[in-house]
């Protein structure tokens, strides 16, 4: 079964994004649907997004993937991370009792509200964590014009 997460996220806080309410809702859906059905919305990697005065830093957990298996694009203010995690091979005569590890293709879209300098975006991957540094475009400063003569 392939699970695909294509929900665009934005960096605008909503009450549902933080706190224990999400945990309680997850438990409720686990109880009602079972964990296999209730967690399909988590098909993509977990993200951290950090902002300082000069840039965003995005970290994505991508265990088991190499840098060649990840595609990153930035267009019109939307950062897109795509990839596919292959399913581990299992012998046919074994029964699966629990499956929480994701496999399949994923797409994560993240809309960033600030202008990003696309020529200076950097990406590194170490120990299954993708880190993207997205610097802001420097603000245009007023230029003082000297009157000659």
| 149 residues of the chain, pLDDT tens digit each | 444 444 444 444 444 444 455 556 666 666 665 544 444 445 578 999 999 989 999 999 999 899 999 999 999 999 999 998 887 777 788 887 887 777 788 999 999 887 899 999 999 999 999 999 999 998 866 788 889 97
79 located within any domain: yes
Which residue in 81, 78, 58 sits closest to 118, CA to CA?
78
Separation between Cα atoms, residue 80 and residue 53, nearest integer Å: 23
CB 136 within 8 A of CB 115: yes
CATH number at residue 127: 2.60.40.790
64 located within any domain: yes
- Given strand 78-85, what is the order of strands in its sheet? 8-10, 104-111, 78-85, 70-75
* Structural domain boundaries, residue 77: 8-12+45-87+102-135
Encoded tokens for 114: 């600030």
């Amino acid at each position: 079964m392939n699970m695909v997460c294509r929900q665009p996220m934005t960096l605008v806080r909503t009450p549902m994004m933080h706190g224990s309410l999400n945990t309680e809702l997850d438990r409720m859906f686990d109880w009602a649907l079972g964990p296999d059905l209730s967690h399909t919305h988590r098909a993509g990697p977990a993200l951290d997004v950090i902002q300082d005065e000069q840039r965003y830093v995005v970290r994505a957990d991508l265990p088991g993937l190499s840098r060649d298996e990840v595609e990153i694009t930035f267009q019109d203010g939307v950062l897109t991370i795509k990839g596919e995690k292959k399913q581990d091979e299992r012998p046919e005569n074994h029964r699966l009792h629990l499956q929480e590890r994701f496999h399949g293709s994923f797409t994560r879209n993240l809309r960033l509200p600030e202008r990003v300098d696309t020529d200076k975006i950097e990406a590194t991957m170490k120990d299954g964590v993708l880190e993207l540094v997205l610097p802001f475009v420097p603000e245009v400063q007023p230029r003082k014009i000297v009157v000659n003569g």
